[in-house]
Amino acid sequence: MVARVLAVIMAVQLVAAGLFWYLFSRWMPLDVALVLAIVIVLLVRMIITANNFRLAARMGSAPPDEHKLDLFGRLRLFLDEYSSTMLTTSWNMLRHRERMHIASNPRGTPVLLIHGYGANGGFWAHLSGMLEHERISHTTVNLEPMTASIDDYAAQVERAVQALRKATGAHKVAIVGHSMGGLVARAWLRRHGASDVARVITLGTPHHGTGLASIGVGSNARQMQLSCEWLQQLEAFDREQRGLFTSIYSYHDNIIAPQTSCHLPGAKNIPFGGIGHVALGRHPAILQRVVAEILSIP
């Protein structure tokens, strides 16, 4: 479904570029018109990303002094996030096929990767390649439908967890959830218990909601509104299990605001600076940290 929505968005962009090309070609050579048309579409996408940063900054929490960015740092943050977004939505998620990878001589605990809101398993293209290289068995899940209640994804997660356990022969799996995916993992834990999971690692997960959820649609978006009742119940429920959790996040997240919403009391919290929300799935420092966390599971 997500791939289809993204395909429609891609088609709209191509049609828009085509129209601009047609219009501009009246006044300039064809090749120049084409370049200009593409630049305009890319600029629109850039403005959307920039607007996310603007909103997140307005509602955000101030980063601690040691993570304050200079102009160059902010530029790099922005370009990194923009390129990650373009790559993820226009390529990785579009061409994603769900898969399970079983390493023959595996290291560590097998991993289930749960994507976030409005995404699919293609979000994990970079981490998946790294896990394969590190001989870590893993699989992804595609959460459907796009706008369901977060609780409703628990059944899908349970199926994926059991399939992974069966295929690898492992007793326990690790879960890595990006953004909403971390909340999906917690909702699954609430329903199915912790007996099959060794560690839950969340990346940029709004454990206490995000101000930007109000522009999303669906039950799941409502459940991510700042300190809503659903989040408070979840918070009360798994307070005793926080030893299972690692929360990795960025002080410069452009979707989760305030960024400290990712801080999960009682969990191992690992904040970074200078990384955007989608870039969390691609930034080498984050990926290396995730792999280290998985390999440190006893």
**Nearer to other proteins among residue 28 and residue 102 (C-beta):** 102
Binding mask 150-189 for other proteins (x = CB under 8 A): -------------x---x-x--------------------
Element (H, E) at 141: strand 138-141
User: Tokens 């995000």 identify what position?
Assistant: 210
Exactly one of 107, 135, 191, 239 binds other proteins (CB under 8 A); which one? 135
Enter the tokens of residue 112. Answer: 């289930």
Binding mask 54-93 for other proteins (x = CB under 8 A): ----------------------------------------
Enter the tokens of residue 164. Answer: 């992974």
**Nearer to other proteins among residue 33 and residue 294 (C-beta):** 294
**Nearer to other proteins among residue 96 and residue 283 (C-beta):** 96
Query: Are the beta carbons of 185 and 161 closer than 8 angstroms?
Result: no
**Nearer to other proteins among residue 42 and residue 94 (C-beta):** 94
> If you write DSSP's letter for every residue of 179-192 in order, what string do you get?
THHHHHHHHHHHHH
Rounded to an integer, what is the distance from CA 137 to the centroid of its chain? 20
Q: What does the alpha-carbon distance between residue 68 and residue 199 come to, in Å, rounded to a whole number?
A: 31
Q: What SS3 state is found at 53?
A: helix
Query: Are the beta carbons of 51 and 43 closer than 8 angstroms?
Result: no
The stretch near other proteins (CB under 8 A) out of 11-19, 134-142, 178-186, 284-292 is: 134-142
The stretch near other proteins (CB under 8 A) out of 21-29, 99-107, 192-200, 218-226 is: 99-107
Q: Is 144 in the site for other proteins (CB under 8 A)?
A: no
**Nearer to other proteins among residue 128 and residue 269 (C-beta):** 128
The stretch near other proteins (CB under 8 A) out of 16-24, 133-141, 144-152, 190-198 is: 133-141
Q: Is 195 in the site for other proteins (CB under 8 A)?
A: no
Q: Is 100 in the site for other proteins (CB under 8 A)?
A: yes
> If you write DSSP's letter for every residue of 215-276 in order, what string do you get?
GS-SHHHHHTSTT-HHHHHHHHHTGGGGGGEEEEEETT-SSSSSGGGG--TTSEEEEESS--
Q: Is 107 in the site for other proteins (CB under 8 A)?
A: no
Q: What does the alpha-carbon distance between residue 46 and residue 40 come to, in Å, rounded to a whole number?
A: 10
Q: Is 94 in the site for other proteins (CB under 8 A)?
A: no
Q: What does the alpha-carbon distance between residue 275 and residue 56 come to, in Å, rounded to a whole number?
A: 13
**Nearer to other proteins among residue 173 and residue 224 (C-beta):** 173
Site residues for other proteins per CB under 8 A: 97-105, 132, 135, 139-140, 163, 167, 169
